Amino acid sequence: MDKSTIRDVMSAMGRKGGKASGPARMEKMTPEERSEVARTAAKKSAEVRTKKAAAKKRAAEKLPAKAKKPRSRN
């Protein structure tokens, strides 16, 4: 078997397990625990968005402003 086939099979196995275990885990949690998980996920998501926005801003500051090309007179 080549590596890409093995990777595809393992990926499918992991996806199948994740789809089954996620809902089962949520059923076993109390509403307070589910709320805490959601709060943590939302906080992490906001952190990632903030870091991406900051990186994008830094990258934009490093690039020189684009000069307009003179229009050709045909």
**Residue spans per domain, the chain:** 17-56
The answer to whether 41 touches 49, Cβ cutoff 8 Å, is no
Provide, rounded to the nearest whole percent, the portion of the chain with pLDDT above 70: 86
pLDDT in tens, 35-69: 999 999 999 999 999 999 998 888 888 766 666 66
Please indicate, yes or no, whether the overall pTM of this predicted structure exceeds 0.85: no
Q: What's the token pair of residue 28? A: 């076993």
Phi-psi region of 34 (alpha: psi -120 to 50; beta: other; left: phi over 0): alpha
Instruction: Give phi and psi for 70, each to the nearest 5.
Output: -65, 140
What pLDDT is stored for residue 16 in this prediction? 84
Phi-psi region of 71 (alpha: psi -120 to 50; beta: other; left: phi over 0): beta
Provide, rounded to the nearest whole percent, the portion of the chain with pLDDT above 90: 46
Mean confidence (pLDDT) of the chain: 86
